[in-house]
Every structure is written in structure tokens, then in C-alpha cells.
Amino acid sequence: MMPPAPAMNRGPAPWGLLGMIALVLAIEGYVSRHEFDFTRPEGVEWRLSGQAARRPDLRGTILCFGSSMVKQGLLPRVVGRELGQPVYNLAMCGGPAPANYFLLRRALESGAKPAAILVEYHPGGLAVDQAHFASYWPSLLEVRELASLGQAAGDPLFFAESVVAKLLHTVRNRHELREHVQGALQGEARSFRRHNLPLQRNVQANRGAKVIPKNPAFQGEIAPHLRQTLLDASWSCNRINAVYIQRFLELAKQRQIPVFWIIPPFSPDLQREREQTGLDARYRQFVAGWQARFPNLTVLDGLRSGYQNSTFTDAMHFDWQGAYSFSADVAAVVGKRLVAPDDGRRWLALPTYRDRAAEVLLEDFAQSVAIVNQPKSTRR
């Protein structure tokens, strides 16, 4: 008979470690519950688009993808009125090519059957890799999607850092938390809530679009950051973006969905400089290369549509007036193409700009701010 095993001396409980774990969980929970205070509006915008891609009412809907030029330039309520069918805008700030693909795949997996797809690829976004948007991917992608992007990019470190940021809100929003704490110590409120609540309302009210009021101060100047991204003479498409443009167009082709590659206009001075530097021609050649490979792809070219400074808020973003006219013109051309898809023309110039009376009720961002700041009892 074996002697009984000696009793294990467990020692005192690791209260310090357990307390630290509890503190970390409490902080994570607090940051998670106050996401709108600590997340930049761009991150919220990405999250809202990711959630909208799973909407159960996207069957038969025309879907819009792309950057802020589409987010602020294609108004689903205007396009839908012209076409007589529902439209939803899934574009977002930056709108990189991989994001367009994952949003389309997510929508299709959730049961969407788009009648058509409108997509835009911003020249500036095409020139950078996935790491440029590292702060925002965790707000959009699930772990399996992050793994797919990391594998396609050949960047395991990107995947590891993104997963940690997705799981831990304090990692994802560490820079914003630092700003928040610094502001609190200086007696300043640095919460993003005052931006994020109107953003959420405006996007939901406009079926994914963001409607921007007029900016009389804009007179055509090209901001330094736009010069850097849109007038770089060394421009080319980064490899990872080409991979995901291919995947996006292949997926649409497999589902027999007509695709319209939208080229929105820039302000007159910016367009003029892009033509003078050869960047306009280089981008057109880039788009034509994709069009030659995909027979279901039609290009809608608005670069020479004559939009003036009075329809822009800066050198590349429409105000509501420019967006209204642009949306109506895009809808008119798309409607004709869906009725007669085989007329042989696949690169179509959009009509010359003309001011249109607003026949669709829109809520612009300034109105959303005013409504959100009203007492709850008076909000509509």
C-alpha cells in the first residue's frame, strides 16, 4: 500500500495578479461601453459600414462602395428615386480596395443580391498598403478577415497587431485615450462623442451616405494633404490593392452582378493639375486595364463634367448640392445601362453639371448636429 501523497502547500492566493486582471477587464469594459468617446469618427464610420453590410434588407439593393468621395457624393435616396429601387452606400473614409472586397463578400454572405454595384477606387488610397489604415481595420474586419488580409499582404505582424487591437479596446484606441487623459488633466473635454453621434445619425438617415452642407469659404485651394496624395508624380497602384480589386471584380462576375466603376470629379484646379502632370491619363489607363479584363464592368467618368468650386467643400469632396446633381446623373446613366446592357459602350462620360432643385428630403450633417443636441423629448 502506497503512503498518502503529501499535502500540497498552495501558498497565498495571487491576489495582486487577480486584482490586476480585474482592473484590466474593468477598464476594457469601460472603454468598450464608451466607444463614441474614445474612437475617432473615421473608425466609427468604418464600423457602421461593416455593420450595414449585414443588413437583412439588401436583397435587390444597388450597393455603393468606395472612399469619402462616394460617401459624400452618391446619395442613395436620390439614386434610388431616379431608378425606382433601393440603394445603400457602404463607402467610408479612405475606402481601400481590400475593404470594398470584404464588405461585398460580407453582404453576399448575409443574403444580399445586388441589382448592380457602384464602386470607386481613390487614387490616393490605391498608392498605399494595408498598414496605412492600420488604426481602422479592427473596427471593420473580423479575425478571419484580418487573417485573410494579413496572408494576402504577406505580413504576419500586421495580422497579430490587428487582432490584439480588435480584442482590446485600450490598444485600438490608445492614442485617443492618451489625448483624453491629457485633456482631462488640463481641464479640457476631448471626447469624440460630439462628432460621432451626429455622424451615426446622418449616415443612418441617408442610407449610408454622409450629406455635407455648403462651404462658402472654399475657393478652389488645394490643401497640402491633397497635394501629397493626389499630385504625387510617382503614383502607382500598390500590389495589395491590385489583388483586392481583382478579387472584388471576380466575385461580382461570379454572381453575374453588373459593376459600374465610378470616377467622381475633382475641383477644377485640382483636375487641371492632374492633367498637366499626366496623373489623370495614368489613372484612366489604369482603369481601362481592368475594364478590358471584365466584360461586366462599365466606367462612368465624371472628371470632365464641369462641376465648379461652389459645389465642393474642398478640392475633392462634394457638398449636398454637388452630390445631389452627381447622384441624379449617375442614376440616369446606370438606369439606361441596366435596361440596355449590350449597346457596346462601356466607358461613359457623365453629363455636364447643372443645378437641380432638391426633390428628395435630405438631412445634412449640420442638421444632424442640431438634432442630436436637442433635448431628447423634442427630437424627431
Parallel, antiparallel or unpaired: strands 62-65 and 117-119 = parallel
φ, ψ at 248 (rounded to 5°): -60, -50
Strand order in the sheet with 259-263: 87-89, 62-65, 117-119, 259-263, 297-301, 347-349
Give the span between the Cα atoms of 165 and 295, in whole angstroms: 40
How many Å is the maximal CA-CA distance in the chain? 100
pLDDT at 262: 98
Q: State how far the Cα of 148 lies from the Cα of 102, in Å rounded to an integer.
A: 10
Q: Which residues of the chain have pLDDT under 50?
A: none
**Which residues are CB-neighbours of 180 under 8 A, at least 6 positions away?**
37, 38, 190, 191
Residue-level pLDDT at 59: 87
Amino acid at 295: P
Secondary structure in 3-state letters for the chain: CCCCCCCCCCCCCCHHHHHHHHHHHHHHHHHHHCHHHHCCHHHHHHHHHHHHCCCCCCCCCEEEECCHHHHCCCCHHHHHHHHCCCEEECCCCCCCHHHHHHHHHHHHHCCCCCCCEEECCCHHHHCCCHHHHCCCHHHHCCHHHHHHHHHHHCCHHHHHHHHHHHHCHHHHCHHHHHHHHHHHHCCCCCCCHHHHHHHHHHHHHCCCCCCCCCCCCCCCCCCHHHHHHHCCCCCCCCHHHHHHHHHHHHHHHHCCCCEEEEECCCCHHHHHHHHHCCHHHHHHHHHHHHHHHCCCEEEEECCCCCCCHHHECCCCCECHHHHHHHHHHHHHHHHHHHHCCCCCCCEEECCCCCCCCCCCCCCCHHHHHHHHCCCHHHCC
Residue 339: the pLDDT is: 85
Give the CATH number of domain 26-378: 3.40.50.1110
Q: Are strands 259-263 and 117-119 parallel, antiparallel or unpaired?
A: parallel
Give whole-number Cα distances, 196 to 79, 199, 200, in Å. Answer: 26, 5, 6
The pTM score is: 0.89
- Residue 230 φ then ψ, to 5°: -115, -5
Is residue 44 a contact partner of residue 193, using CB atoms and an 8 Å limit?
no
Which residues contact residue 157 at a Cβ distance below 8 angstroms, ignoring those fewer than 6 apart? none
How far apart are the C-alpha atoms of 363 and 343, rounded to whole Å?
37
Which pLDDT tens digit goes with each residue over 246-269?
Answer: 999 999 999 999 999 999 999 999
Nearest to 207 by CA among 373, 327, 96, 318: 327
Q: Which sequence spans correspond to the domains of the chain? A: 26-378
pLDDT at 208: 97
Phi, psi of 305 (to 5 degrees): -90, 0
Give the per-residue pLDDT at 44.
93
Task: Note the pLDDT of residue 352.
Answer: 96
